[in-house]
Every structure is written in C-alpha cells, then in structure tokens.
Amino acid sequence: MQDGRIWAIEPNLEALNVLHEGTAVGHLGIEMIEIGDDFLRGRMPVDHRTMQPFGLLHGGAAVLLLETLASAGANHCVDPASQICVGMEISCSHLRGAKQGFVIGTAQAIHIGRRSMVWGLVNKDEQGRLVSTGRLTSSIIDRP
C-alpha cells in the first residue's frame, strides 16, 4: 500500500464483473464501474429484479449491492494466498426511495487492521441524492 492506495491486489473491473456472473449479484444486474485508491463503486438497476411490490427499490437489494462492493474491496486488501475476508456485521439505513434508473453504490475503507476492516457504504440515485447509508465490518481470517 502506497500513495494512499489500499489494495494488496489491484482490483480489475472486468474480472470482478465476470466473477459475479451466474450469482445473485449478476442476476440483479449489478456491475462494478469504478475503482479508486480506497473505494469500489458499482451500480444496480431499479427494475423488476430489484423492486419490492410497491414499486420502490427493495431494501435487501440495496444492501446486497453495498455488501458486494465492500466484500470485494476487503478481499483485495489481503494476501489471497493466506487470508480471506468474511462479513461480520452490516447495518444500513434507507433514506429515500428509488423508483427507476440506477442506484450507484460506493464502499470506502474506513479502517484496515490486522484482523478486521470497516467499510463505509453509500447508495445514491442518478441525481446524486442519498438513498441509503451503512457500514460493513469484516473479519480477516486465515485461509482454510
């Protein structure tokens, strides 16, 4: 890690998107769209796959987007030959409903320790309005 970059293994957008094909992430149309020095950003459509019956973005889908980003980020901050990161706790607050378009999620590292990480989470709509916020705590464990 140098120059403010946190990555032990540099994330690759194409590889991350291929990795999620055929999973819940892929089925919901989530795609990784940006890598920063200390964050990952992705987007998810607000459509029939991600809405609840009242025509709004489903809270669980919003959380899935954020947890996907934070988990992918966390696992790029450790040596994959010897460690993996697993989620310990996630909390989210839903602040605004989304009815169409995309939500854009960002997971940014707040703390990277020897045995745990904390990631700050934000979902915004395409107009930049806050949809949900949260935090994910991950445990860094030795690879089984």
Does 64 reside within a domain?
yes
- Provide the number of structural domains found in the chain: 1
Give the domain extent around 137. Answer: 13-142
Q: Is residue 74 one of the residues assigned to a domain?
A: yes
**Nearest to residue 62, comparing CAs of 87, 86, 44?**
44
Of 31, 67, 89, 126, which one is the catalytic site residue? 67
pLDDT, residue 138, reads: 98
Q: How far apart are CA 31 and CA 33, in angstroms?
A: 6
Instruction: Please indicate, yes or no, if residue 70 is contained in any of the structural domains.
Output: yes
Known catalytic residue at 67: yes
CATH number of the domain bearing residue 73: 3.10.129.10
Render pLDDT for 39-55 as a digit per residue (tens, 0 to 9): 999 999 999 999 999 99
Q: In this structure, is residue 8 part of a structural domain?
A: no
pLDDT tens, the chain, 144 aa long:
456 899 999 999 999 999 999 999 999 999 999 999 999 999 999 999 999 999 999 999 999 999 999 999 999 999 999 999 999 999 999 999 999 999 999 999 999 999 999 999 999 999 999 999 999 999 999 998
- The answer to whether position 44 is within a domain reads yes
- Domain membership of residue 108 (yes or no) is yes
Q: CA 70, CA 49: separation in Å to the nearest integer?
A: 21
pLDDT of residue 144: 86
Q: What is the predicted pLDDT for the residue at 1?
A: 46
Starting at the edge strand that comes first in sequence, how are the strands of the sheet with 39-45 ordered?
Answer: 31-35, 39-45, 102-112, 116-125, 130-142, 83-94
The reply to whether 7 falls in a domain is no
